[in-house]
Amino acid sequence: MTRSRRIARLFRPPRRLSFTREGKYFVTLCLGIGFAAINTGNNLLFLVLGMMLALIIGSGVLSEISLRALTVERQIPERIFAGRPFLMGISLRNNKRHLASFSIEVEDLLAERSLDKKCYFLKVPAERTQHTSYRHTFAGRGLYRFSGFRVSTKFPFALFRKSRPVDSATEAIVFPAVYPVLPPEPQAVELGEHAATRLGRRGEFHALREYQAGDDPRAIHWRKSARVGRPMVRLSEDQTARRIAIFLDNHGPTGAEVSPEELERQENAVSHAASLAAHYIQRGYVVGLVTRTVDVGPGAGQVQLTRLLRALALIEFTPEDTPYSAPARWSGECIFVGRSGAAARPRNERSAG
């Protein structure tokens, strides 16, 4: 938190009071009756004026009771994607021992500004917690900092809106947009007139075939061989055929030098790299990410996908033409993603410089 913001919070009033439309009419009417009572000396007008002033005082006392001893928390989803709506969970707890809170509105604040629609709680009983959510969509990827909440109420007569701030600093990482892609399949090796996936002794099961001279005897499937009466060999996919390295070229202008068209190309490239990572992770590949500034080691599964998406959400483009941050050799396939967003694969190569 900056020093200026801290100083501003020191002088910030603990409560903010604003008129509703009905409250403006009521106060105007109250002033009119007050002037009439003073000018005429009519006791009945003084009685009406006193009743109206009592309503204003009672409104302030009851609204203050409703706002006191409230705790607000947010439940951020594990994955938030740019351009995709999500539900942000909000929980409100009433810590008062005997009194309930009525007609409470909660606004989530992002950099001191209201984020979206208000969450409304009709009644929160004493020492109870209620939950609700609101729908929101972030337009772009990156790190978003929530500063807190604004809790307000118009209880009991809707004459005034009284509000107070609640500090709750939280950060949320918005992942790049992910969409279905059709990337090129892993390269094949020519076997005679047909193309077949690279085969090895270890890896996922591929097929069974009859034993041939030169085959590794350790690959013989003895149960199948006993069933058919001749030796059969178990073929597996080569593990390197299921290893993908995504090379993202994050070399480009930054700051004020970026035009809207260039910024769109950069974001498309990041989204395409994220979509490729999600595609291959879901198919069981070992996937790594290499850029000019960030290197995410190879891995598989949803944990690895979260690591990749997190790195892509926070990645920044650099104007310096620096080399990639990972070694040039890679024991699997390589996919290059440029600022145009297109993916390319080197032909008959398994390394990239």
| 102 and 65 within one domain | yes
Q: What is the pLDDT of residue 343?
A: 59
Cα dihedral 213, 211, 238, 275, rounded to 10, equals: 140
Q: Does some domain include residue 299?
A: yes
Query: Does residue 12 or residue 239 have the better pLDDT?
Result: 12
Distance CA 288, CA 312 (A): 12
Can you give the CATH number for the domain in which 168 is found?
2.60.40.10
Q: What is the pLDDT of residue 119?
A: 93
Q: Does some domain include residue 273?
A: yes
Q: Does some domain include residue 3?
A: no
In the predicted model, is pLDDT for residue 156 greater than 50? yes
What the block records as the tokens of 59 is 């409104």
Read off the pLDDT band of 133 (50, 70, 90). Answer: very high
Q: What is the pLDDT of residue 206?
A: 56
Q: What is the pLDDT of residue 193?
A: 34
Name the pTM for this structure.
Answer: 0.74
CA distances from 124 to 101, 127, 183, 308 (A): 5, 8, 52, 41
| 162 and 229 within one domain | no
Q: Does some domain include residue 186?
A: no
Read off the pLDDT band of 107 (50, 70, 90). Answer: very high
| 327 and 293 within one domain | yes
| 24 and 128 within one domain | yes
Q: What is the pLDDT of residue 69?
A: 92
Using CB atoms within 10 A of its CB, is residue 61 exposed (0-12), middle (13-18) or buried (19+)? exposed
Read off the pLDDT band of 311 (50, 70, 90). Answer: very high
pLDDT in tens, 234-270: 766 555 557 888 999 888 888 777 788 888 899 999 9
| 132 and 37 within one domain | yes
Q: What is the pLDDT of residue 331?
A: 67
The total number of structural domains that make up the chain: 3
Distance CA 115, CA 60 (A): 27
| 103 and 250 within one domain | no
Q: Does some domain include residue 21?
A: yes
Domain that holds residue 273: 241-344
Q: Does some domain include residue 183?
A: no
| 203 and 146 within one domain | no
Q: Does some domain include residue 108?
A: yes
Residue 92's DSSP bridge partners are: 72, 130
Q: Does some domain include residue 185?
A: no
Q: What is the pLDDT of residue 349?
A: 39
- Mean per-residue pLDDT for 126-151? 93
In the predicted model, is pLDDT for residue 347 greater than 70? no
Q: At what angle do helices 260-282 and 301-314 cross, to 10 degrees?
A: 170
| 295 and 245 within one domain | yes
Q: What is the pLDDT of residue 178?
A: 93
Mean pLDDT of the chain: 83
- Mean per-residue pLDDT for 170-185? 87
| 105 and 223 within one domain | no
Distance CA 254, CA 318 (A): 7
